[in-house]
Amino acid sequence: MIVSKAFWKIVLKNIGSIILPTVILLMFGTISVTSVDSTAQYEARKPALVIFNHDENVGLTKNFIEYLEENATIKTGYEDDDRLKDALFYEEVTAVIEIPENFHQDMALGHDPEVKMRSSAGYVAELAKVAVRRYLSVAKGYSALHLSEQELVAKVDKAIANGVKTEMKAAVDTSKYAKASRYYSFANYTILSCFITIICLIMSAFNREQVRKRNLVGAIDIKKMNRILLRNCCIYVLAAWVFYVVISVFVLGVEVVFTAQGALYAVNSLVFAACATTIAYLISIFALSAGAVNGLQNVLALGTSFLCGAFVPAEYLPDSVLAFAHVLPSYYYIDANDKIMKIQQFDAATMVPILLEIAVVAGFCVLFVALANIISKKRQRIA
Amino acid sequence: MKNVIEVKHLTKSYKTNKAVDDLSLTVKEGEILGLLGPNGSGKTTTMNCILSLLKFDNGEINIFGKEMKPDAYDIKSKIGVVFQDVAVFDELTVYGNIDYFCGLYIEDKNTRAQYVEDALKLVGLEDNKSQYPKQLSGGLLRRLNIACGIAHKPKLIFLDEPTVAVDPQSRNNILEGIKKLRDDGATIIYTTHYMEEVEILCDRVIILDHGKIIASGTNDELKALAKIEEKVTIEVPELAPKQLSGFEKIKNVSEVVYDNGVLKIVYRKGKNNLIDMMEYLKANKIQYNKIFSERPTLNDVFLELTGKELRD
Ligand SMILES: Nc1ncnc2c1ncn2[C@@H]1O[C@H](COP(=O)(O)OP(=O)(O)OP(=O)(O)O)[C@@H](O)[C@H]1O
Ligand SMILES: [Mg+2]
């Protein structure tokens, strides 16, 4: 049909404007993968801990510190609290652990001494927390057996030694998803940029006053024509989305994409792609010029990507910016990507927040379509 | 001959401004009807109402014997429209544009390919097929605009000032093309404020002012409305006031103006006017350089009927 033919011709004419954001996405994805995969990077990602030991360095306390030394880099010279806070903020130090007085005795007696922990943001900190909690829970478990401290130390040591490997493997897995998260979060920019550009340019071309009049006098139902245009927009969006997911197999690897997390990333991005389409649909009602579309596309794609943490992780952004970002669908899309990365196990507690955020993005779709319908009714001048 | 269009008592207002005021007209099969009027006289509004692009307050419009409505696709399929403003896709080539607008009417690919070629030939854009509208000059763009409107070989064609801002060569080309369409059997409504075009092109003319028809008929019928027969312009380097007043006494002369070495004389009806004039010049030994005589134009008719010029 002639309308579809013109649609795809216009897509081809504008293909240049969608290549750049796609190439940037690929570059961004590939670079982050190689850098995190190297062992050097892996070493660097070992948690850096500061330990304040208020106990004697004997027995279980000594063993605990040795365990930490094995699994993390221990840093010293952070007695000044302000300095420590800065170090935590800049992730120079991953976590600070305070071992209380009488820790080794209390542990052996089966009490529950509190080990205070402060940590920076990010998954390395999560990793450190998991490692510490793991040691403490194992120790607590054996302390219930009322063993002598010597026996307790031996048992804990053995149990932990067996478990360490899996602990480290979990760490690698998380970093693997970190790349996926970054790829998909960066896709916020690519999806918005490409979809708004293409859909707006095409819809504006068909809706420009003069062309619209000529379409109206044509022997074709204008409503049918709009349906054809919308259908083709959907085909374009789906094709582009499939393309980005297929590309992600090469960028992120089979072992990331073909997992439950991989599927979640895909679903999340599909809903966001739908949302980007409705944004484009809303904008296209105004039949803007090519220049205006390009400007707006830049503002929206780059703006939301900065504000919502597609380029810079959200935890580095000021609170005021993040508060504002909450009114943007991109925020929920990117935050869901972060949450998917941090999934340790699939249960309601982890899944519900993710699904809720996806639902919020879907809600934005409905909102934008409703807005578009209201505005286009108001703008209908030619009867 | 059949009536292709019948408009009865069409009225259309924009708020308090009556753009079209109780207008009735018919267009006969195979004719070129000129709609002539100054800027803002309601030509485009009339056309848009006939095409169901605008809702109107009052009146009745029949095309091919049926009531015209926004969803009368069987009627629309036989109509071609060339709008006043260029309406093409910047993103499509010359060929792509014609193909698209033709495709809104003609589904069959082979027929369409043939029609597009015909349209390209008609407007003389064969060599510009693969160019984009941005690469075309104003005149060529106008030609593309026309090709897009008529490629599907419609029986009824509306052209709204298709030659505005077009160089003389392109204009002649366009006018020839339009005549060819009529000769191929199309009925044409041609809107313009250039009286010369109407005189060359149109079989019948309707003159509009303030949304009303102030005169209609063939060129000759309209010119008969002007109470003048001809206008004579003579270059006279020097002229005494007495000699000037003598001109006014010549038979049939209705008006004499002398300005800057140019003498303009307007005649009422009458024969042999020029001969009398020459004799007067000779008898009074008046030196002169050039003489030329014009028949009245539609502008004179318009002037006669409204007291103002067609073009400002
Ligand atoms: N959309 C509109 N809203 C309000 N008034 C309008 C509109 N379109 C036209 N008019 C008015 O209606 C009258 C007729 O306009 P129209 O465009 O039909 O004139 P026209 O004869 O085509 O003039 P032109 O030679 O400039 O194209 C004018 O007074 C114009 O100001
Ligand atoms: Mg007009």
DSSP states along B272-283:
SHHHHHHHHHHH
At A159-192, the pLDDT tens digits run 877 765 444 444 445 566 878 888 888 888 889 9
From A161, A184, A217, the end of a domain falls on A161
Q: Is B81's CB within 8 Å of A214's CB?
A: yes
Q: Phi first, then psi: what are they for B263, rounded to 5°? A: -105, 125
Report yes or no on A166 lying in a domain. no
Tell if the CB–CB gap between B91 and A9 is shorter than 8 Å: yes
CB atoms within 10 A of CB B195: 22
Instruction: Output the average pLDDT for chain B.
Output: 88
Alpha-carbon distance B5 to nearest alpha carbon in chain A (angstroms)? 16
- Number of C-beta neighbours around residue A128 at 10 A: 24
Do B85 and A210 touch, CB atoms closer than 8 A?
A: yes
Out of B51, B86, B107, closest to residue A210 by CB: B86
Tokens of B224: 């008969």
User: What's the gap in Å between B103 CA and the centre of ligand 2?
Assistant: 26
- In the predicted model, is pLDDT for residue A282 greater than 50? yes
Query: In the structure, what pLDDT confidence band is assigned to residue B12 with cuts at 50, 70 and 90?
Result: very high
- Smallest CA–CA distance, residue B218 to chain A, in Å, is 29
pLDDT at B312: 52
The CATH number of the domain holding residue A60 is 3.40.1710.10
* Higher per-residue confidence, A123 vs B44: B44
Whole-number Å distance, alpha carbon B50 to ligand 1 midpoint, is 15
Q: What CA–CA distances, in Å, run from B222 to A6, B206, B225?
A: 47, 9, 5
Look at residue A38 in the predicted model and tell me its pLDDT.
38
Share of chain B above pLDDT 70, in %: 99
Pick the closest to residue B136 from B175, B83, B168, B97 (CA basis): B97
Interface-testing mutation among B56, B99, B101, B115, with chain A (most A C-beta atoms within 10 A): B101
**Last-in-domain residue among A100, A134, A161:** A161
Cβ–Cβ under 8 Å, residues B232 and B284: no
* Ligand 1 contact via B206 beta carbon (within 6 Å): no
Q: pTM surpassing 0.80?
A: no
**Domain count along chain A:** 2
Query: Which of B13, B18, B21, B44 to mutate to test ligand 1, by most ligand atoms within 8 A of the CB atom?
Result: B44
Distance of CA A98 to the CA centre of its chain: 31
Residue A358 included in any domain: yes
Q: Is the dihedral of CA B302, B303, B304, B307 positive or negative?
A: positive
Q: Report all structural domains of chain B as residue ranges with CATH numbers, in order of start.
A: 3-223 (3.40.50.300), 228-295 (3.30.70.980)
Is residue A77 situated within a structural domain? yes
pLDDT in tens, B128-175: 999 999 999 888 999 999 999 999 999 999 999 988 878 888 888 888
Check whether residue A219 and residue A188 sit in a common domain. Answer: yes
Please check the confidence at residue B49 and state whether its pLDDT lies above 90.
yes
Q: Are residues A125 and A197 in the same domain?
A: no
Domain contains A42: no
Judged against a pLDDT cut of 80, whether residue A45 lies above it is answered with no
Per the document, the length of chain A is 383
CA distance A219 to chain B (A): 5
Q: Tell me the CB-side half-sphere exposure of residue B81, using CA atoms within 13 A.
A: 28
Distance B213 CA to ligand 1 centre (A): 16
Same structural domain, A201 and A342: yes
Q: In terms of domains, do A191 and A292 share one?
A: yes
For residue B212, the CA-to-ligand 2 centroid distance in Å is 15
- Among A161, A185, A202, identify where a domain stops: A161
Residues A361 and A252 in one domain: yes
- Reported as a single tens digit per residue, the pLDDT across A70-110 is 878 888 888 888 888 888 888 788 889 999 988 888 888 88
pLDDT for the residue A340? 87
Residues A273 and A369 in one domain: yes
Across the interface, whether the CB atoms of B73 and A221 are under 8 A apart is answered yes
Angle at A139 between CA A135 and CA A141, to 5 degrees: 120
Specify whether A269 is located in the same domain as A375: yes
Contact B73 A5 (CB under 8 A): no
Which helix (H) or strand (E) element contains residue A188? Answer: helix A149-207
CA–CA distances in Å: residue B227 to residues A287, B254, B276: 52, 10, 20
Looking at the domain assignment, is residue A167 inside a domain? no
* Residue A346 and residue A241 in one domain: yes
A251 in the same domain as A108: no
Instruction: Provide the token pair at B110.
Output: 């082979």
Whether A11 and A84 map to the same domain: the answer is no
A–B interface: beta-carbon pairs under 8 A: 69
**Where in the sequence is the domain holding A194, given as residue range(s)?**
2-36+173-382
Domain identity same for A208 and A290? yes
* For the ranges A105-109, A239-243, B296-300, the one whose mean pLDDT is highest: A239-243
**Average pLDDT of the residues in B13-20:** 90
Same domain membership, residue A241 and residue A114 = no
- Residue type present at position A42: Y
- Please state, in angstroms and rounded to a whole number, the distance separating the CA atoms of residues B310 and B312: 7
**ipTM value greater than 0.85:** no
